[in-house]
Chains A and B, each alone.
Chain A
Amino acid sequence: MATSKLQAFLNHPAGPKTIHFWAPTFKWGISIANIADFAKPPEKLSYPQQIAVTATGLVWSRYSTVITPKNWNLFSVNVAMAGTGIYQLSRKLRQDYFSEKEEAVAKE
C-alpha cells in the first residue's frame, strides 16, 4: 500500500524526478536564509534586497492561485518569502526611523 503511494509520488509529473519539484523546493532556501538573518543587526540588512524579496513574494503568491493548476507549494513558498521580507523591513525601518525619535526625545 505504502509503496504504491510512494511510487505515485516519485513518478508524478511534478514529482522529485522533475525540475517542477526542485525549483519551488529551492525557493524555500530564500526564506530560510532570511530567517537565519533575523539574528543580524538591522544595519547589515539591505533595503533593496528585502523590498525585492517582499515584492516578488507578494506577486508570485497571487499568481500561483490564478494559474492552472493552482500550485499550493509555490503559493506557500512565496507567502513565506513575503512574510520574512516584511519582517526584515520592519526591523530595519524601526531602527532607522523610530529609534532616532526616541534618541531625539531623550536628548531634549
Chain B
Amino acid sequence: MNALRSFWNSPIGPKTTHFWGPTFNWSLPIAAAIDTQKPPEAISGNMTTVMCLYSGIFMRFAWVVKPRNIHLMVCHMTNETVQLYQLSRWIRAQRGTELKKEEADE
C-alpha cells in the first residue's frame, strides 16, 4: 500500500504530466516492435536513423532533467534498442539489393 501511495504522489507519478508524456512515448517503441515482423522494405531509413539519434539524446535528457525521469529514460532505452535493430535490418536489406544489382550487371 505504501509503495502504491508513494507512486501515486510521486513528482513523476500519474497525477503529473511527467508521467503521461513518457506513457504516450511508449507508442514509438511499440510501433517499432510491431514493424519488426514486417519485411525490411517497409522500414524508413530516414525515420529509423533519426529515431536512434533522438532516443540517444533523450536518454541523457531524462537523466539530467529535474525531476529526474527514469520512466522516460527506460522508454527511450527501449526505443533505442528496437530502432537500432530495425536499422540493422534495413542496412542488411540495402546491401542485399546492391549485391543483386552488381550480379545482374556482370
15 contacts between A and B (CB under 8 A): A19-B64, A23-B57, A30-B51, A33-B47, A33-B50, A46-B31, A48-B35, A51-B31, A52-B31, A55-B24, A56-B24, A56-B28, A59-B20, A59-B21, A60-B21
The interface size of chain B toward A, counting residues with CB under 8 Å, comes to 29
Interface residues of A (CB under 8 A from B): 19-20, 22-23, 26-27, 29-30, 32-34, 36-37, 40, 44-46, 48-49, 51-53, 55-56, 59-60, 63, 66-67
Chain B, 24-38, contact with A by CB distance < 8 Å: what is the 0/1 string? 110110111011001
Interface residues of B (CB under 8 A from A): 17, 20-21, 24-25, 27-28, 30-32, 34-35, 38, 41-42, 44, 46-47, 49-51, 53-54, 57-58, 60-61, 64-65
Knowing that A26-B58, A49-B44 touch, tell me 5 more A-B residue pairs with CB under 8 angstroms.
Answer: A19-B57, A20-B61, A40-B44, A46-B38, A56-B24
Number of contacts between A and B (CB, 8 Å)? Answer: 79
Contacts A30-B54, A52-B28 hold; do A67 and B17 have CB atoms under 8 A apart? yes
When the two chains form their complex, are residues A48 and B31 in contact, meaning their CB atoms are under 8 A apart? yes
Chain A contacts of B27 at CB under 8 A? 51-52, 55-56
